Amino acid sequence: MTIKIEEAVLDDVEAMQAADAGQMLRAVASSGAQVRQAAIAAEEAGLARLREEGQPRAVVVAGMGGSGISGDVLAAVAGIGCRVPVVTLRDYTLPGWVGPMDLLIGVSCSGSTEETLAVVEEAARRGTRLVTVGAPKSPLAGLSEQARGIHVPVDSGGRLPRANIWALSVPLLVAAHALGLASVPREVLDRTADLLDDIAQRCRPTSEAFVNPAKELALAVAGSVPMLWGSSPLAGVAAYRFACQLNENTKYPAVFGTLPEANHNQIMAFEGALAASSNVDEDLFRDRVGDEIEPRIRLVLLRDTVEHPQVTRRREVSQELAEARGIPVSEVVAEGAHPLERLASLVALTDYASVYAGFVLGVDPSPVASIFELKERIAR
């Protein structure tokens, strides 16, 4: 099997605009603004009053797809030092142990995701503390009001759920800060928003491919079999997010993992049929205009700047082993000091890369026809 690559499209702004009918690039560029707007919405919704009821026994975040990633963001930012467990639930059923001592946060951009509504309904019946995040005047907002929970309304700005990651995640971080579960003061949110704006400038469509880190990564990934490894739990969330974005924006498969676990299973793909190019004379620096290439593994290391020393060694040796077997390696290094900044920097660049990879492969990033077809069939 071969895949056709159109590298030249990334230096043709008009061609990219034509390919991006749903304006996904503009949506990704709104990330900094989303952080600022969501911080205001969370404050106005009254999340600060969570402090009065004290810390919960556990935090359960219910959400699917681009909404569910908000729970992973919360867990990554809270980190291993968090006083209570943070669990992301992607299902119809609330675990039996969840009760009045716990906090359930239901997240749905549309406010009508059936799995999330089912979990929120059950949590309300059990008397679980409730916060919801999603569209105003939606079924989710209605359930929250009936249960006397706190609803944070989200203005999607016409963006798809996966492009609203920060609009959906920031209210959870504000809630965690109010409860003393994570330190995410307003100045951290402001710094993160500024960093996202800076990355948007570096990854803008008018920036040529040879100086644009997102376009460079897109060209590396397009046509490959991407193995995405995070070097910490935080970077592992970014790897998962990148895989999901490649699935939806690029309509492309990807494997994701986190070190050290990936060294105990996924590394064996380095020895398989997709490990090395069958063309030993391939010129890696040629222009790939209308090329058809055979997909081979590419290792993409998403590096956190806070790593366990032994994981650092594992990452370095993994790269050595990959390169020794002819497997190309790309690396994205986190920026910033606070966990939120580091995670946001990895997510932002790879979000852009997933969109640019779609252009290279001749794909409009926005439509998700198979998802809608599935929903229509199960609704019959």
The domain 3-22+203-360 is placed in CATH, from the list 3.10.620.30, 3.60.15.10, 3.40.50.10490, 3.40.50.150, at 3.40.50.10490
- For the beta sheet containing 329-333, the strands, ordered from the edge strand earlier in sequence to the opposite edge, are 255-258, 225-230, 297-303, 329-333
Cα–Cα distance for residue pair 334/357, rounded to 1 Å: 21
Residue 211: CB atoms within 10 Å? 9
Cα–Cα distance for residue pair 369/375, rounded to 1 Å: 10
* Nearest of 117, 172, 175, 167 to residue 147 by alpha carbon: 117
Q: Does the pLDDT value for residue 250 go beyond 60? A: yes
284 or 141, which is more confident?
Answer: 141
Query: pLDDT by residue (tens digit) across 310-326?
Result: 999 999 999 999 999 99
Query: pLDDT by residue (tens digit) across 330-367?
Result: 999 999 999 999 999 999 999 999 999 999 999 999 99
Identify the pLDDT of residue 276.
74
Place 279 in a pLDDT band, splitting at 50, 70 and 90.
Answer: very low
> Mean pLDDT throughout 113-118?
98
Structure tokens at 89: 């639930």
Question: How many residues in the chain?
Answer: 380
Q: How big is the CA angle at 104 (ends 188 and 182), to the nearest 5 degrees? A: 25
Cα–Cα distance for residue pair 244/254, rounded to 1 Å: 8
Query: pLDDT by residue (tens digit) across 37-70?
Result: 999 999 999 999 999 999 999 999 999 999 999 9
Per the DSSP assignment, residues forming a β-bridge with 332 are 302
**What's the chain's average pLDDT?**
95
Fold held by 30-192: Rossmann fold (3.40.50)
- Asked if the domains at 3-22+203-360 and 30-192 fall in one CATH topology, the answer is yes
How are beta strands 59-62 and 255-258 bridged, if at all? unpaired
CA dihedral of 330, 335, 338, 343, whole degrees rounded to 10: -40
Cα–Cα distance for residue pair 253/7, rounded to 1 Å: 20
Q: What percent of the chain has pLDDT over 90?
A: 93
- When computed from its CA atoms, the radius of gyration of the chain, rounded to whole angstroms, is 21
DSSP 8-state assignment for residue 3? E
Domain ranges of the chain: 3-22+203-360, 30-192
Query: pLDDT by residue (tens digit) across 173-183?
Result: 999 999 999 99
Residue 331: CB atoms within 10 Å? 13
Identify the pLDDT of residue 288.
54
Q: Does the pLDDT value for residue 193 go beyond 80? A: yes
Query: pLDDT by residue (tens digit) across 207-249?
Result: 999 999 999 999 999 999 999 999 999 999 999 999 999 999 9
Cα–Cα distance for residue pair 214/91, rounded to 1 Å: 33
Identify the pLDDT of residue 284.
46
Q: How big is the CA angle at 14 (ends 11 and 15), to the nearest 5 degrees? A: 70
Q: Does the pLDDT value for residue 379 go beyond 90? A: no
Q: ω before 260 within 30° of 0 (cis)? A: yes
**Token pair 């050290």 is at which residue?**
260
Q: Does the pLDDT value for residue 285 go beyond 70? A: no
Cα–Cα distance for residue pair 256/226, rounded to 1 Å: 8
Query: pLDDT by residue (tens digit) across 12-29?
Result: 999 999 999 999 999 999
Identify the pLDDT of residue 281.
45
How are beta strands 86-89 and 225-230 bridged, if at all? unpaired
The residue type of 249 is: N
Identify the pLDDT of residue 2.
81
Per the DSSP assignment, residues forming a β-bridge with 227 are 255, 299
DSSP of 182-195: S---HHHHHHHHHH
Cα–Cα distance for residue pair 132/71, rounded to 1 Å: 12
Cα–Cα distance for residue pair 374/304, rounded to 1 Å: 36
Cα–Cα distance for residue pair 317/322, rounded to 1 Å: 9
State how far the alpha carbon of 184 is from the alpha carbons of 174, 316, 373, in Å: 7, 32, 39
How are beta strands 289-293 and 225-230 bridged, if at all? unpaired
Query: pLDDT by residue (tens digit) across 151-174?
Result: 999 999 999 999 999 999 999 999
Identify the pLDDT of residue 128.
98
Mutual angle of helices 213-221 and 339-360, in 10-degree steps: 60
